[in-house]
Amino acid sequence: MDRLKYKSIVYWTLAQRPPEKNESSLDVARRILSNLGVPFPKGKLNDVMRKIDNREYMGWRWHPFSVMHAQQCVNSDYIVIGIDIDGNNRVTVILPEDSAAVDDSALPKIPDNFYARSLSSITLGELQQTQFFAFVDFIF
């Protein structure tokens, strides 16, 4: 899936059914990933972490990704999530960085949020508490 299609599905998911006030980031991520056609474990965040941390869950590969590797994956058209379990118990779908080669002007506008963000919009403190997971068919 190319960057524009990936970003489009994420944006349309958030625009068509904005997250509800009490909806967890895990539930929102699960909805986005479902629309992307990506399997994601059921359960609470700790259950999800345990299943993915197995190093293999239906295509999910875990590796101690650096921020650079996570960005490389997402910019290479792989689906990447960040899970912050040390601070906010938050799941974020990582978006590709904006590129002049990708015209996303037709995408719906969504407010800034922590459900789907590019790595450059995540603070250093948040990045230090985040583990990255990618839906890929290889491990770095």
How is residue 86 written in tokens? 């040390």
* Domain ranges (residues) in the chain: 3-135
Residue by residue, pLDDT tens for the chain (140 residues) are: 788 888 889 988 988 888 888 889 999 999 999 999 888 888 888 888 888 877 667 766 666 577 888 888 888 888 899 988 776 788 999 988 866 445 566 666 666 677 888 888 888 888 888 888 888 765 55
The CATH class, in words, for 3-135 is alpha beta
CA dist 8 and 24 (Å) reads: 22
